[in-house]
Structure formats: C-alpha cells, structure tokens
A and B are shown apart, each in its own frame.
Chain A
C-alpha cells in the first residue's frame, strides 16, 4: 500500500510570497496528481506528472521519481489561491489514487 505524506499540513502566507508544498510517497507509481479543493468542496485537477516539471500560470509542479518526491510551487501568491492542496499518486491496473491528507493554504492580503 502506498503511503503519501504531505507537508506542511497548514501554511499561512502573505500575498506575493513564494509557496512550496511537498509530497513524498513510498512505492513506485504511474503518475502523481496535484489537486485543489476550495471551501464548498469541489476538487479540481491541477497537474498530472510522471516525470520532470510542469507549469501552468503561477503554478509549477515537479517530481523526482528516484527520490519519490514532488513539490508544488505557487509564485506571487494571491488570496484567491487559498484552498486545500492535495497530492495523490496513481498506481494499479485501474490507476486508482492514494491521497495525501492535504495542505490547507491561506494567503493573507
């Protein structure tokens, strides 16, 4: 069974700060997902990674397969980035996900 650990659990930042959220997992995977969940509960997929780095706007996700580690970076953070960010790893024949417990990010104006 894959264990997925996220850090930190809670993060408060000032608007404009650079933010990093980390994720580590214990077993080899087919892909790693970064998800965003806003108050009210909907889950949105931000990235799916199997190697290297991806960028979308102010968000950057990286993965190191050898070290079983991924990071999500947010540049020039904004209050609208406040949400729970969830790391999930896919494995198995049905690509089912194992989730971390999430990082609650609050960006203050």
Chain B
C-alpha cells in the first residue's frame, strides 16, 4: 500500500534547466495538489487538480506547469528553473472529504 509516491527525492538543477516531478497515488483519490515548503514559511499551494484532465492555479503558480492525464498521476514541470524555485516540494492527494495523504517530498536545489 504505497499511498503517495514522489519521484525524485532529491535533485540539483542548473539555472535554466527543466525537469518534471512525478506524483503517483494508488488510493483512487480525485483531488491532488502540489505544495512547496520554504524555511520560515508555511507550505504554499502551487497547482491542484480536482480530477483527471483538470488543473487549476494555486497561490504561487508562476514558473510551474502541471498535467493530470491519468487519475493516479500529477506531474509538476519546471520549464526554466530559477534559484527562487529551490524548495522542498510536496504532493498530496485527497478523496475530497476525509483528509489528506502527503508524499515524502522532493528536495530541489537550483544553482
């Protein structure tokens, strides 16, 4: 019973490089979310999805794109990484009424 799996767990990027973070859940949850966590701040919502084929912007969407082609997967893309995107990224999923399950996080450093 894997829950929410994020890959990769760690990554170092050079400024301007691109990458995709993968979030996969095996609980058949409708809702999926991408958050970022920065020191001294609460987690902030980047993008979210309320079902397969849908995405919406959160609080801090600039510089990121997302896709949810399959219900179980939610991808977060950085087209041209910037040092300001150095952060820990968390994916989460929810059935909509009964709480959240979080992934273990991806620590991204942009140099």
Q: Which residues of A contact B (CB under 8 A)?
A: 4, 33, 35, 41-45, 48, 86, 88, 93-102
B102 and A45 contact, CB distance less than 8 A: yes
- B101 cross-chain contacts in A, Cβ below 8 A: 45
A43 and B31 contact, CB distance less than 8 A: no
Binds A, one of B15-23, B39-47, B60-68, B72-80: B39-47
Task: State in angstroms the CA–CA spacing of A41 and B101 once bound together.
Answer: 14
Task: Given contact pairs A96-B33, A101-B42, enumerate 9 new A-B contacts (beta carbons under 8 Å).
Answer: A33-B99, A45-B100, A45-B102, A94-B31, A94-B33, A94-B48, A95-B96, A97-B100, A98-B42
B104 and A41 contact, CB distance less than 8 A: yes
Interface of A is mostly: strand
Q: Give the 4 A-B residue pairs with the shortest CB-CB distance, closest first.
A: A99-B42, A43-B102, A48-B99, A99-B43
Interface residues on chain B, size class: 20 to 34
State whether A95 and B94 are in contact (beta carbons under 8 Å apart), knowing that A41-B105, A42-B102 are contacts in the complex.
yes
Task: State in angstroms the CA–CA spacing of A102 and B94 once bound together.
Answer: 21
A41 and B98 contact, CB distance less than 8 A: no
Q: Does B88 contact A (CB under 8 A)?
A: yes
Q: Contact partner of A41 among B33, B42, B88, B100, CB < 8 A?
A: B88
State the Cβ distance, A101 to closest chain B Cβ, in Å: 5
- B45 cross-chain contacts in A, Cβ below 8 A: 96-98
State the Cβ distance, B84 to closest chain A Cβ, in Å: 19
Task: State in angstroms the CA–CA spacing of A86 and B90 once bound together.
Answer: 14
Task: State in angstroms the CA–CA spacing of A44 and B44 once bound together.
Answer: 17
Q: Contact partner of A94 among B40, B44, B56, B102, CB < 8 A?
A: B56
A101 and B41 contact, CB distance less than 8 A: yes
Task: State in angstroms the CA–CA spacing of A48 and B101 once bound together.
Answer: 12
- B90 cross-chain contacts in A, Cβ below 8 A: 43
State the Cβ distance, A26 to closest chain B Cβ, in Å: 14
